[in-house]
Structure 1
Amino acid sequence: MRNIIALVLVSFITFSCSSDKKMGNMIITGQIKGLKKGTLYLQKMKDTVIVSVDSLQLLGDDRFTLTDNVDSPVMYYLTFDGNTQPKKIMFFGEKGNITIDDNVENFGVNPTITGSLNQAIMTNFNEIDNQFKSKRLDFIAKELEARSKNDTIKVDSLAKAFNQLIRRRFLFATNFAVSNSDSEVAPYIALTELYDANLYLLDTINNSLSEKVKNSDYGKRLNKFVNEIKEAEKKKDE
């Protein structure tokens, strides 16, 4: 009887703590099928460090609720540790309710994410960009084979074709960002996928951003990045 009372008391305390949890303006709910034991973390980048903003210990229940306050949409990470190696799901967090469903065996490979408009746009970008990445891997494999055979003509030919592929990818990313200039995805793509592109492409994206996006976290970072490049180029010309 004493054990039963103790168990009920623990359950009541756990329920009370969960109920008293203060929810932010972004609420992440979902299910990670097969994840029966481990800690689930909601993380984001702060300055240059990834920090945890919420966490939940799962013991027998694979459903979860995590939360944070979002000032402007930014990339978040859903990670867990337990009996497996750390894995993660990257997604655009924003105000509102977001649902993430996945399974523990292929965690992060193909999660279902709904409720985030920015994430839907990012997914569209990744679907096409992954094709460029796949072709790039093919080029690398062919180049290694050509080099192993000392086929310099093939190596030169592949190098030219590879450079053309990179230019097409840069143009695709730029056009995609400009076409979605009212989304925080646009400056994010510029900062993460076009950081080594020429200034003209970066400046084109920066100038296309809506006022809302310009004032967002990624919008401000992109503007600072572009201005730093311009200043550096001015100093070279002096």
Structure 2
Amino acid sequence: MKRIAFIITLLIVSSCAKDNSNFTLKGTIKGLKKGTVYLQKIEDSVLVSVDSIKIIGDKEFQLQTHLEAPEVFYLKLDKQGEENNLIPFFAAEGVTEINTTLKNFFMDAKIKGSAQQEKLQEFKLMMDRFQDKNLDLIRDNLEAQRNNDTIQIDSSLKEYNNLIVRKYLYTINFAINNKDSEIAPYLAVSEIPDANLKYLDTINQALPPEIKTSKYGKELQGLIDERKKE
């Protein structure tokens, strides 16, 4: 009886959470015949599921939750016990749509949703360019090592260090230029937490009050306070 009562309680809580939802994630997974999709977020450094749905013969899905503020969530697919890559996205009140494929779950994802997500995609596009350049430098360095070309080795190392600096400066400038969005503190804590403290402070000071008190605004302040103790 206690077990039955516990299950009923969980169902009631889940139902209430659905009724109180202000965010919907919908979309399709081309090629999926059977599996479970999860809507997840990070709580205390651990991914937790806030909603899920089993898919059987229907590639479409819809998940819901209640958002206190814009936050990065994750779409996860579990296909017959085989967990695929996560798809991260910036959720805000309203509807976000993700269309992807089973074959390339992460890479094929097309996301349409919040203004914060648009900024995140803009940022990721530039990061992809930095990554491409990084791969070119790795290739050049390996070739130089095979040829025992010390001049080219030193040159590629300098270019690599310059690339890292450019990547950090781009992230800092992007955050400051988008200080009115939750994307600013999010990038600071997720992409450059080890940056020079003065740059993190600069981003933090540029944030308006409503962004400073957001989830990632508080995390940025906490990061700065912790770094100052070191």
TM-score range, shorter chain: 0.7 to 0.9
The answer for the alignment partner of 1:181 in structure 2 is: 179
The answer for the alignment partner of 2:143 in structure 1 is: 145
Q: Secondary structure at the match of 1:189?
A: helix
The answer for the alignment partner of 2:107 in structure 1 is: 109
Indicate if the aligned counterparts of 2:34 and 2:55 stay in contact, CA closer than 8 A: yes
Query: TM-score, with normalisation over the residues of structure 2?
Result: 0.87
What letter matches 1:119 in structure 2? Q
2:214 maps to which of 210, 213, 216: 216
The answer for the alignment partner of 1:172 in structure 2 is: 170
What letter matches 2:72 in structure 1? M
Q: Secondary structure at the match of 2:19?
A: coil
Residue 60 (structure 2) pairs with residue 60 (structure 1): no
Indicate if the aligned counterparts of 1:23 and 1:67 stay in contact, CA closer than 8 A: no
The answer for the alignment partner of 1:37 in structure 2 is: 34
The answer for the alignment partner of 1:199 in structure 2 is: 197
Cα distance in 2, alignment partners of residues 159 and 21 from structure 1: 53
C-alpha displacement at 1:21, in angstroms? Answer: 4.9
C-alpha displacement at 1:144, in angstroms? Answer: 2.2
Of the structure 1 ranges 58-67 and 103-112, higher mean CA displacement relative to structure 2 is found in 103-112
Cα distance in 1, alignment partners of residues 194 and 143 from structure 2: 28
Encode CA deviations 1:32-85: one digit per residue, 9 max, x unaligned.
122120000111111111111110000111111101111121211101111555
Indicate if the aligned counterparts of 1:26 and 1:95 stay in contact, CA closer than 8 A: yes
Cα distance in 2, alignment partners of residues 21 and 117 from structure 1: 24
- Across the aligned residues of Structure 1 and Structure 2, the Cα RMSD in angstroms comes to 1.9
Q: Which segments of 5 or more consecutive residues in structure 1 lack a partner in the other structure? A: 1-16, 233-238
The answer for the alignment partner of 2:46 in structure 1 is: 49
Identity %: 43
Query: TM-score, with normalisation over the residues of structure 1?
Result: 0.85
2:67 maps to which of 59, 66, 70: 70
C-alpha displacement at 1:115, in angstroms? Answer: 2.3
Matches for 1:85-164 after TM superposition, within 5 Å: 85-164=83-162
C-alpha displacement at 1:192, in angstroms? Answer: 1.5
Indicate if the aligned counterparts of 1:38 and 1:57 stay in contact, CA closer than 8 A: yes
Q: Secondary structure at the match of 1:181?
A: coil
The number of aligned residues is: 215
1:82 maps to which of 79, 83, 86: 79
What letter matches 1:70 in structure 2? L
What letter matches 1:126 in structure 2? K
Q: Secondary structure at the match of 1:219?
A: helix
Indicate if the aligned counterparts of 2:89 and 2:117 stay in contact, CA closer than 8 A: yes
Q: Secondary structure at the match of 1:99?
A: strand
The answer for the alignment partner of 2:23 in structure 1 is: 26
- Any runs of at least 4 consecutive aligned residues in structure 1 with deviations exceeding 6 A, and if so which? none
Encode CA deviations 1:156-204: one digit per residue, 9 max, x unaligned.
1111111111111111111111011111111111112111221122111
Bigger radius of gyration among the two: 1
